[in-house]
Amino acid sequence: MNAPELLTIPVPFYQPQGAECELFEAAWRQQLPVLIKGPTGCGKTRFVAHMAARLGLPLITVSCHDDLSAADLVGRHLIADGATVWCDGPLSRAVRIGGICYLDEVVEARKDTTVVLHPLTDDRRILPVERTGEVLQAPPGFMLVVSYNPGYQHVLKTLKPSTRQRFVAMSFDFPPPEVEIGVLVRESGIGEALARQLVTLAGQLRRLSGYDLEEAASTRLLVYAAKLIQAGLPPWQACRTALAEPLSDDADTVAALLAVIQTQFPD
């Protein structure tokens, strides 16, 4: 079965770290579902948006949460103008139009919800819609992509092996320093020297041990700090607002983060 022709649409900026773009495109051409693993703010969502545009595919994104049900994904009957009508969910819409359905932080969804993905992740590539009696056949362009942050999981929030083994998987991490510097310059407009200071600071914060930090300083937060600096805020204040305060609510931990920030940007 031939893949659809690629369309020309604007491609969101994404700086590759390796062969991830080629791997993703190969998976799409072979009609394989993809699992992306990596820490919060490392570029997973931007990468998927970049690849959807690069491949000329519609992108439907679902931010998963504890209450996400199979009906939320597949669809449900609703009452409109006194009549009952069927309304497709995001997964059904993506199958019908032949686009990418991206389930962000899929482990946050209820375990019984992910079962609905199984028929789409093997050679059947179908989505049974029990409430209408339909069986949707995924067209060549359809692709299922899911992501999650392995470092933020606990025993109750993991993917079942029966689900994991239905995907090809890609691991993401924060970019190497030189790549991250380029991202900051490109995304915020700050100079390279200042971007280098921010990346150096991020490395120091990511190595900070002895404090209960659930997440590391992400590339996303670095971009926020760079944009605040570009907007005219003093660097120490921008870093406090975009790096220290979002990472913790504990006063002692924030004080420790601020001490590290002041080594790069004295107030």
Q: Is the pLDDT of residue 5 over 80?
A: no
Percent of the chain clearing pLDDT 90 (strictly above):
76
Q: Over range 36-56, report the average pLDDT.
A: 95
**Chain Cα centroid distance, residue 218:** 13
Q: Which two tokens stand for residue 185?
A: 């310059």
175-211 confidence digits (pLDDT tens): 999 999 999 999 999 999 999 999 999 999 998 855 6
The three-state secondary structure class of 107 is: helix
The three-state secondary structure class of 142 is: coil
Q: Is the pLDDT of residue 4 over 50?
A: no
Q: Is the pLDDT of residue 55 over 90?
A: yes
Band of pLDDT at residue 1, cut at 50, 70 and 90: very low
What pLDDT score was predicted for residue 80? 80
Task: Give the whole-angstrom CA distance, residue 219 versus residue 177.
Answer: 10
Please give the full DSSP string across 158-202, using - where no structure is assigned: ---HHHHTTSEEEE--PPPHHHHHHHHHHHH---HHHHHHHHHHH
Which has the higher per-residue pLDDT, 211 or 39?
39
What pLDDT score was predicted for residue 262? 95
The three-state secondary structure class of 114 is: helix
81-100 confidence digits (pLDDT tens): 888 899 999 999 999 999 99
Band of pLDDT at residue 155, cut at 50, 70 and 90: very low
Which has the higher per-residue pLDDT, 113 or 50?
50
3-state helix, strand, coil in the chain (%, to 5): 45, 15, 40
What pLDDT score was predicted for residue 209? 58
Mean pLDDT lowest for which of 15-19, 27-31, 189-193? Answer: 15-19
What pLDDT score was predicted for residue 153? 55
37: which residues sit within 8 A by CB, 6+ positions away?
Answer: 147, 148, 149, 150, 169, 170, 171, 172
Which has the higher per-residue pLDDT, 6 or 265?
265
